[in-house]
Amino acid sequence: MVDFQVDETVDITDVVCPITFVKAKVALEELDDGQVLLIHLNDGEPVQNVPRSIKEEGHQILKLTGNEDGTYDLVVRKAGG
Amino acid sequence: MAFTNEQLERYSRHIILQEVGAGGQKRLMDASVLIIGAGGLGAPAALYLAAAGVGRIGIADADAVDLSNLQRQVIHATADVGKPKVQSASESMLAINPEITVETHRMYVSASNILDLIAGYDFVIDGTDNFPAKFLINDACVLSGKAFSHAGIIRFQGQLMTYVPGEGPCYRCVFRDPPPPDAVPTCSQAGVIGAMGGVIGSLQAMEAVKYFIGQGELLTGALLTFNALTMEFRKVRLPRRADCQVCGAHPTILEPVDYALAACDLDGGG
Amino acid sequence: MKITVAGDVKEYADGITVADLIVSEDVETPAYVTVALNDEFVLTENHATTKLADGDNVEFLYFMGGGGCGVYK
């Protein structure tokens, strides 16, 4: 289990692909290297694509948990820290 | 300033690029560009810069839309014939992107007004069709320490270069003085393929975007030429002229100068 | 001797000048062309006296108007 403290949260359940990733990317850009972002996202396409795209950009996926309402929480550490 | 979801969607293809990202898009939204000439070059440049979200775009032109413009000036429509070009251009830009601010300058540029005109903008696009105007814009930008994009098109040919203060030659380094009136044809006399404005004007918009996002190499110290018949682009290195009248070590041009215009350009057409 | 003109390597007689090259290349508006020889501009008044040498690189830069009208009067 990785220890982390969430620095910022972004809700991308109000947009659809591919804007989901764009919104997450912008939120990550605003963080300092090494800071942790919690991304609240929907089931389906978002949860299939957003973690992969974030990984491709070099960031570290810390945790992905499913919520009871069908949404997910993705915790990411910004690359470079 | 945070992006709205609508802005994230509108600019997603920019933001997703490593070279632009949220930071680059914000720089574009904070930027201002003056486009001189709402014609064959200015039309695509204005449309792409508006679409890109450049926050404030000035457009200067004294003419009204003429039927002969529509073969290449894609910012104007048939229903705009007779309308001031700056108004028609402004409407098209705002139709694409209502988020930006468009400032219209319905005027002829001259030595007496150019410095004031360009002072309010970060970058200037020369979309004019005659040499007196091109030299005037060059001199005013050099004297004001302002970056600008020069371009020219005629027949199946186009060229462009970018001036950034302290980073290479200016237009006058290369061409020294305007040719005498009527010595060199302009496109109103010689014709031009409409899509040439699209190619070269879009490249001017590209240079402006790169200038603001600070990525890649600009056409400083180089003239890019395009021949549509052979489909050849050539990037010709340009030296600086140490004794350039306006950007050289001992400049003799200390304020903008008006030159005589060729008689056949007086009623426009480029 | 070989000279590169606008990117193409061509064979020319020894000792030709920039002015000769302008004629043999059939340059449009020869009085108003800017010539760059090995990355240096050659002043128009020096075209006739500037001799070319084997391996030289020559570029012709042309005035190009056109773009938009109604901006200058």
State whether B22 and A18 contact (CB < 8 Å): no
Quick check: is C68 in a domain? Answer: no
Quick check: is C70 in a domain? Answer: no
Q: Does B70 touch chain C (CB under 8 A)?
A: no
The pLDDT confidence band at residue B269, using thresholds 50, 70 and 90, is very low
The pLDDT confidence band at residue B36, using thresholds 50, 70 and 90, is very high
ipTM attached to this prediction: 0.82
State whether C32 and B179 contact (CB < 8 Å): yes
Q: What does the block give as tokens for A77?
A: 């550490």
Q: Could you give the percent of chain C with pLDDT greater than 90?
A: 81
**Could you give the count of Cα atoms lying within 13 Å of C41 in the half-sphere of its Cβ?**
20
Distance from CA of B98 to the nearest CA of A (A): 20
Distance from CA of B94 to the nearest CA of A (A): 23
Question: Is B266 a residue whose pLDDT tops 50?
Answer: no
Q: Supply the range of the domain harboring residue C49.
A: 2-61
pLDDT value at position C73?
47
Q: Which residue of B has its CA nearest to A28?
A: B22
For chain B, domains (ranges, CATH) are 7-265 (3.40.50.720)
A15 touches B9 (CB < 8 A): yes
pTM: 0.90
Domain map (residue ranges) of chain A: 8-77
State whether B188 and C69 contact (CB < 8 Å): yes
CATH architecture, domain defined by A8-77: 2-Layer Sandwich (3.30)
pLDDT value at position B176?
94
Q: Does B21 touch chain A (CB under 8 A)?
A: yes
CATH number at residue C10: 3.10.20.30
Q: Which residue of B has its CA nearest to C62?
A: B175
Quick check: is C31 in a domain? Answer: yes
What H or E segment, with its residue span, contains residue B261?
A: none
Cα-Cα-Cα-Cα dihedral of A36, A41, A47, A52, to 10°?
A: -30
Q: Taking residues B211-239, what's their average pLDDT? A: 97
B32 touches B54 (CB < 8 A): yes
State whether B8 and A15 contact (CB < 8 Å): yes
Q: Taking residues B16-22, what's their average pLDDT? A: 93
Calculate the average pLDDT of chain B: 94
Quick check: is C13 in a domain? Answer: yes
